[in-house]
Chain A
Amino acid sequence: MSFATSKLLAASVAGAALLAASVVAQAQEVKVGVILGFTGPLESITPGMGGSAELALKEVNDSGLFLNGETLVPVRADSTCIDAAAATAAAERLITSENVAAIMGADCSGVTIAIANNVAVPNGVVMVSPSATSPALTDIEDNDYFFRTAPSDARQGEVLTEVLTSNDITSVAVSYTNNDYGKGFSDSFVAAFEAAGGTVTINAPHDDGKGDYSAEVGALAAAGGDLLVVLGYVDQGGVGIIRAAVDSGAFDRFALGDGMYGQSLIDAIGEDLEGTVGVIPGAEGEGSEKFAEAASAAGLDPSSSYTGESYDAAALIALAMQKAGSADRTAIRDALLEVANGPGEPILAGELAKGLQILKDGGDIDYVGATNVELIGPGEAAGTYREYIVENGAYKTVGFR
């Protein structure tokens, strides 16, 4: 044998060994896609969301009770939050080339609708979104493959109305981000606020990514109102609207939707934000405390937006697999609602091992998780919201609704 052929042989043996190793590894791994907008308008909160989802998967792996000793492997992909084509391509990669069993995500409503319609539902892959809140997602043709641990904005509109009426606010101007999320949210808020006897002086969109919002604020100021309701994104046009409103003295009080919650807003606006009220999905109780402990221990900020929902979304996927006894895509769909709702033993965040054991023994569980998960209608969270107010340069929780 010449030197060249022996080298070739050695290379192919090594290659075959590698291949065999990867096949063995795959047999014990179940991949779960984590598709969130790691770039784009939500990039400041998505690392916390992704980290929380992976925290749940790690907890399942650490228990050693999952299926027949398989491990869950998260595979991240970028939804970009705004670019439906890029998000669809990323989801396509997860499903066809990474062969994920289910997808936790996506985050923003527009891309979530695109992924569900174009990739997940046609391929029969379960999606559990932690943060897509558009009312439109309630009615999509999903063959029951779409779930969300975040409530619909139809509910958020009612909660925000309750907050404002309890503060004796009767007339507001509304500025929403010009996309599926903003449009759906503002429609549901305006309907709820007017039904409660309030007046909406103007309901105008703003586009994200512009340098200057003085024209938008000019129109809002002309319409007037007790305060300005901003339903946008914290790293995008929302903060631009608030800054322009503060600079021109158009409004000195604001009410914010869930996309506007973030430390970067307080950093950017400073003391002019005092007295601002807002709502954000969030729960109180033992589950959220346990989640907060676990997240803090893992180096995550549990009060960041949608961290608990992300944890719950990933946990539900894992528990549904355990209930079904396999990582089959359709079996996950059929088992998900059974583990999410009663009857059965309530399982809080941090107790996934207990839940896995009960399911392994053939019992029933009622997953409560970090956010009091109760899936209603076509598989979406009923929704608890935290009402906050900005005081002395920090978010302060007023109560839960």
Chain B
Amino acid sequence: MDFLNALVVFANFVFIPGLAYGAQLALGALGVTLIYGILRFSNFAHGDLMAFGTMLTILVTWWLMSMGVTLGPLPTALLALPIGILGAVAMALLIDRWVFRFYRQQKSAGIVFVMASVGVMFVLNGVVRLIIGPNEQRFADGERFLVTVRGFREFTGLDEGLAIRLPIAITLVVAVVVVIALFRFLNYSRTGKAMRAYSDNEDLALLSGINPDRVVMVTWIIAASLATIAGVLYGLDKSFRPFTYFQLLLPIFAAAIVGGIGQPLGAIAGGFVVAFSEVTLTYAYKRVLEYLGFEPAGLVQLLSTEYKFAISFVILVLVLLIRPTGIFRGRVL
């Protein structure tokens, strides 16, 4: 019984939050890694593209709510999500047309693209704050819980409770569906194969008659869609605040690099590595250990929670020092 209690505490405070956060990071890192693999630069504007798509989704959600349209137990934001994705895709394509295409035609060095993306990041950041404001917005409606603490306790008779919030369940389901769809697209569709060929060897791909404009366009469409989905899931699960999304850039890049940048599978693995590192290193294990029969004197917390962001940094530095290609042997930055 005590062992089960320990497991439940661990699941409630470490495993489930880590799983949801990891899925959100993985979706974000997939977009970063695709842009890096195909367009060959680190897109620093990705966090703010997430914020932009999420903002559009929130605005449409509010409009739907005011019209009395809801999804019953599911959050209305899911209904608004496609419109948010469309808006973010349009924005990404416009940015590419106005900013990145110029540097592509100039055949500029990679660092020039990165700096241009920093500029785009600030502009997008400003646009989002201008439209929706810098404050926290909550837009989750419908049922809050799939499993409540009280319900779990009554059902199992354990001392400890387990909560599974509906947004977490939705995050996991959507992430699995999106990832499967993306991999099928990349591996089996003609465009997906063209993208992989372009990423592998640009000159050879052009010689084989692959249309580069089309590859670039599809890449932006996928990246912007992934960014919006990741952003909306993060916002539903936690909360939306433009600055938080800007800060997400660090763990997302850490995830992409840990997994091996340019490797979609690596982005997913990296997302979970970063998320679980953050959660497991800052959790206080006192209660878990007590159920397992130990009597720890302190809280058994490796790092105080203020150091959560530092963990992404440390992972980033360690990976770049020890194995710059990442887990799945991606490119070297």
- Stretch from A64-72, A203-211, A392-400 contacting the other chain: A203-211
- Residues of A close to B70: CB separation below 8 A: none
Establish whether residues A205 and B306, one from each chain, have CB atoms under 8 Å apart when the complex forms: yes
Instruction: Indicate whether A218 sits within 8 Å of B13 (C-beta atoms), given known contacts A178-B306, A211-B234, A248-B163.
Output: yes
Establish whether residues B287 and A214, one from each chain, have CB atoms under 8 Å apart when the complex forms: no
Please report the C-alpha to C-alpha distance between residue A217 and residue B150 in the assembled complex, in whole angstroms: 18
Residue of A205, A215, A248, A268 with highest tally of chain B CB at under 10 A: A215
The 8 A CB mask of B273-311 against A (1 = contact, 0 = none) is 000001100111111100000000001110011101000
Near A by CB (< 8 A), chain B positions 111-161 give 135-136, 138, 144, 148-150, 161
In the assembled complex, A197 has its CB within 8 A of some CB on chain B: no
In the assembled complex, B331 has its CB within 8 A of some CB on chain A: no
The 8 A CB mask of B212-249 against A (1 = contact, 0 = none) is 00000000000000000000001001111101100000
Nearest Cβ in chain B — how far from A154, in angstroms? 25
Establish whether residues B241 and A223, one from each chain, have CB atoms under 8 Å apart when the complex forms: no
In the assembled complex, A212 has its CB within 8 A of some CB on chain B: yes
In the assembled complex, B12 has its CB within 8 A of some CB on chain A: yes
Nearest Cβ in chain A — how far from B83, in angstroms? 23
Establish whether residues A248 and B149, one from each chain, have CB atoms under 8 Å apart when the complex forms: yes
Establish whether residues B244 and A214, one from each chain, have CB atoms under 8 Å apart when the complex forms: no
Please report the C-alpha to C-alpha distance between residue A249 and residue B239 in the assembled complex, in whole angstroms: 19
Nearest neighbor of A217 in chain B, beta-carbon distance = B13
Instruction: Indicate whether A219 sits within 8 Å of B305 (C-beta atoms), given known contacts A212-B21, A249-B163.
Output: yes
- Residues of B close to A249: CB separation below 8 A: 12, 148-150, 161, 163
Residue of A222, A240, A249, A250 with highest tally of chain B CB at under 10 A: A222
Establish whether residues B286 and A223, one from each chain, have CB atoms under 8 Å apart when the complex forms: yes
Nearest Cβ in chain B — how far from A82, in angstroms? 12
In the assembled complex, B40 has its CB within 8 A of some CB on chain A: no
In the assembled complex, A224 has its CB within 8 A of some CB on chain B: yes
In the assembled complex, A221 has its CB within 8 A of some CB on chain B: yes
- Residues of B close to A55: CB separation below 8 A: none
Nearest Cβ in chain B — how far from A211, in angstroms? 4
What's the tally of chain B residues with a CB closer than 8 Å to chain A? 39
Please report the C-alpha to C-alpha distance between residue A250 and residue B17 in the assembled complex, in whole angstroms: 14
Nearest neighbor of B21 in chain A, beta-carbon distance = A212
Please report the C-alpha to C-alpha distance between residue A211 and residue B161 in the assembled complex, in whole angstroms: 24
- Residues of B close to A247: CB separation below 8 A: 144, 163, 165
Nearest Cβ in chain B — how far from A229, in angstroms? 17
In the assembled complex, A162 has its CB within 8 A of some CB on chain B: no
In the assembled complex, B14 has its CB within 8 A of some CB on chain A: yes
In the assembled complex, A202 has its CB within 8 A of some CB on chain B: yes
Instruction: Indicate whether A216 sits within 8 Å of B305 (C-beta atoms), given known contacts A211-B238, A211-B239.
Output: yes
Establish whether residues B244 and A218, one from each chain, have CB atoms under 8 Å apart when the complex forms: no
Nearest neighbor of A236 in chain B, beta-carbon distance = B136
Please report the C-alpha to C-alpha distance between residue A249 and residue B285 in the assembled complex, in whole angstroms: 17
Establish whether residues A223 and B299, one from each chain, have CB atoms under 8 Å apart when the complex forms: yes
Near B by CB (< 8 A), chain A positions 185-211 give 202, 204-207, 209-211
- Residues of A close to B12: CB separation below 8 A: 248-249
Partner of B13, one of A202, A209, A221: A221
Partner of A209, one of B148, B243, B283: B243
Establish whether residues B234 and A223, one from each chain, have CB atoms under 8 Å apart when the complex forms: no
- Residues of B close to A235: CB separation below 8 A: 135-136
- Can you sample 11 A-B contacts with CB below 8 Å? A207-B306, A209-B243, A211-B239, A212-B239, A215-B283, A215-B305, A218-B17, A219-B282, A222-B301, A223-B299, A247-B163
**Closest 10 A/B residue pairs (Cβ):** A249-B149, A222-B284, A211-B244, A218-B13, A211-B238, A219-B284, A212-B238, A249-B161, A222-B286, A222-B287
If A221-B13, A268-B138 are given as contacts, then 8 extra A-B residue pairs at C-beta distance below 8 Å, sorted by A number, are A202-B299, A209-B243, A209-B244, A211-B241, A215-B305, A222-B13, A222-B301, A250-B13
